[in-house]
Amino acid sequence: MDYLQQILFIVAVAVTAWYITRRVQLISRAIKLGRAENRTDHPDERLRTMLLVAFGQKKMFTNPLVGVMHFVIYLGFIIINIEILEIILDGVLGTHRLFAPYTTAVYPFLIGVFEVLAAGVLLVCVGFLARRFIARVSRLQASRHRELRGWPVSDATIILMAEIVLMIAFLTWNAADSALRDRGVGHYADAPVGDFIISQHLKPLFAGFSDSGLVAYERGAWWIHILGIMAFAVYVTYSKHLHIALGFPNVYFSDLQPKGEMQNMPEITKEVQLALGLPLTTGADGSQANDNGEQPAEATSGDIGRFGAKDVYDLKWINLMNAYSCTECGRCTAACPANITGKKLSPRKIMMDTRDRMEDIQRGWKEHGSDYKDDKSLLGDYITVEEINACTTCQACVMACPVNINPLDIILQLRRYRVMEEAQAPASWNAMFSNIENNMAPWKFSPSDRFNWAEQVNEPVSTK
């Protein structure tokens, strides 16, 4: 590799690192817009959950075929990218297959493993494209889910096509390199490696190439592969595929409470405890907290703040990480009974809208400075009241998510704001609240009459 290629490569690495660092800083700052919440308890349980759900892909295997396909592309993506270390060092140092002379016993085997996985990733990506555009899986169709219209479909297609191109470049690069080695051309002949398990079958494709033409193809495939990976790494930070990086911490910090348990608001808990003369629950650091270990707003910010959430600033930081970790797979929406019955609620859209809101804020920071504020809010401008009121709080979306995202938590916080701050609960809800307060049940009859229905159980059935 000549010096010009080395310089170009180093510049490409530097530019990629700068863009990724910039995006990581912006995303981190956006997530920190959320309210503080302690998610460091029970580290052993959190680690076990992460290994099972994020690394082991436990929830993906509810559909075995799709689970295997996703595992292949996931495992291939992780392992194949180990080879990037050698490619980067070759590019910076101007060498060719730097590790080959030092690992002659295992090098062909390792590259062979990478090639098998690359072929698997290529086939799986073709399969996923077929599921979208030939089998037309319902939860992936923009015609049935309005949140997928436009960019989301293009995003998924770009990612799958990019991975196909990267895998083809990798395999044909190895094949061209092997063909040059067979011909004894230049430094290619010095690499102490033989043929590789998949690419050796592609060498006949290059039989008619001249030596110079073959060198040009080998260099072109090498550049396409590594520059493609760099571009992919930057693109992922703008894409739903950010879950590749955030899936692990998102699962680690996911809620450990039973799925049917709704968390009380710390501010309300404190007021009730004071009204009843009960001692305030104390956190580990001596501060006032509720039974979930959450500190009330007075203990953290000096003022009560807002009941519920109107915008991303009112949500918890984990809600915002959830939004950036969403894969847009639609399993939550497919499981949602409200969506199935034709309601406008889509848990996937809730997460996408939350992320879109944060991205809009980021654009404002870049255009108008770090103090940028606008007159928009998550509730109203992105998510409608009709959507959040359609939720039955059944937890189906939470159970279905493969990376433990909780759309319901965002919905509940938005509804709390609507009811407690704006006093805009539907009339039927107000009647239910009144019945629960007075009758200890959602129905309008006395608790003493609750089991009157049982008196009719043993009555003889009329034969008339």
Q: Which tens digit of pLDDT belongs to each residue from 300-315?
A: 444 456 789 999 999 9
Residues 185 and 298 in one domain: no
Tokens of 173: 């690069």
pLDDT computed for residue 296 by the predictor:
45
Count H helices, E strands: the chain?
Answer: 19, 0
Residues 357 and 293 in one domain: yes
**Residue 53 lies inside a defined structural domain of this protein:** no
Least confident of 89-103, 300-314, 418-432: 300-314
Rounded distance, CA 266 to CA 253, Å?
Answer: 20
Residues 231 and 302 in one domain: no
Residue 78 near residue 248 (C-beta atoms within 8 A): no
Residues 135 and 247 in one domain: yes
Residue 320 near residue 31 (C-beta atoms within 8 A): yes
Q: Give pLDDT tens digits for 427-448.
A: 888 888 888 888 888 888 888 8
Tokens of 361: 């804020």
Rounded distance, CA 308 to CA 187, Å?
Answer: 66
Residues 69 and 192 in one domain: yes
pLDDT computed for residue 304 by the predictor:
54
pLDDT computed for residue 18 by the predictor:
96
User: Which range in 32-46, 68-82, 289-303 is most confidently predicted, on average pLDDT?
Assistant: 32-46
Rounded distance, CA 29 to CA 21, Å?
Answer: 12
Higher pLDDT, 131 or 278: 131
Higher pLDDT, 257 or 139: 139
pLDDT computed for residue 31 by the predictor:
96
**Residue 457 lies inside a defined structural domain of this protein:** no
Rounded distance, CA 354 to CA 323, Å?
Answer: 6
How big is the CA angle at 232 (ends 229 and 237), to the nearest 5 degrees? 140
The amino acid present at 142, given as its one-letter code, is: A
Residues 431 and 332 in one domain: yes
pLDDT computed for residue 285 by the predictor:
39
Question: Distance of alpha carbon 178 from its chain centroid, rounded?
Answer: 39
> Which 3 state secondary structure label does DSSP give 2?
coil
Domain boundary among 252, 275, 295: 252
Residues 224 and 309 in one domain: no
pLDDT computed for residue 43 by the predictor:
94
Average pLDDT score, the chain:
88
Reply yes or no on whether the pLDDT at 63 is more than 80: yes
Reply yes or no on whether the pLDDT at 353 is more than 80: yes
**Residue 100 lies inside a defined structural domain of this protein:** yes
Question: Distance of alpha carbon 386 from its chain centroid, rounded?
Answer: 26
pLDDT computed for residue 292 by the predictor:
46
Surface-to-core class of residue 92, CB atoms within 10 Å of its CB (0-12 exposed, 13-18 middle, 19+ buried): middle
**Residue 454 lies inside a defined structural domain of this protein:** no
Instruction: Give how many domains the chain has, as a whole number.
Output: 2
pLDDT computed for residue 313 by the predictor:
94
Surface-to-core class of residue 65, CB atoms within 10 Å of its CB (0-12 exposed, 13-18 middle, 19+ buried): exposed
Residues 285 and 364 in one domain: yes
In the DSSP assignment, the letter for residue 456 is G
Residue 267 near residue 304 (C-beta atoms within 8 A): yes
Residues 244 and 303 in one domain: no
Reply yes or no on whether the pLDDT at 280 is more than 90: no
> Which 3 state secondary structure label does DSSP give 276?
coil
> Which 3 state secondary structure label does DSSP give 195?
coil
Residues 293 and 370 in one domain: yes
How far lies 360's CA from each of 95, 156, 238, 299, 354, in Å?
44, 21, 12, 31, 10
Closest CA to 128 of 55, 67, 193: 67
Q: Report the percent of the chain where pLDDT is more than 90.
A: 59
Rounded distance, CA 388 to CA 139, Å?
Answer: 20
The residue with tokens 């194949």 is: 80
Residue 443 near residue 432 (C-beta atoms within 8 A): no
Residues 81 and 181 in one domain: yes
Q: Give pLDDT tens digits for 122-164.
A: 999 999 999 999 999 999 999 899 999 988 989 999 999 999 9
Tell me the residue range of the domain where 87 lies. Answer: 3-32+63-252
Reply yes or no on whether the pLDDT at 297 is more than 80: no
Closest CA to 403 of 353, 328, 334: 328
Instruction: Write out the H or E segment, with its range, that includes residue 447.
Output: none
> Which 3 state secondary structure label does DSSP give 284?
coil
Domain boundary among 252, 286, 305: 252
**Residue 294 lies inside a defined structural domain of this protein:** yes
Reply yes or no on whether the pLDDT at 286 is more than 50: no
First-to-last C-alpha distance (Å) of the chain: 98
Reply yes or no on whether the pLDDT at 75 is more than 50: yes
Q: Cα Rg for the chain, rounded, in angstroms?
A: 28
In the DSSP assignment, the letter for residue 208 is T
Span 338-355, average pLDDT: 96
Span 25-45, average pLDDT: 94
pLDDT confidence bin for 464, thresholds 50/70/90: low
Residues 80 and 212 in one domain: yes
**Residue 435 lies inside a defined structural domain of this protein:** yes
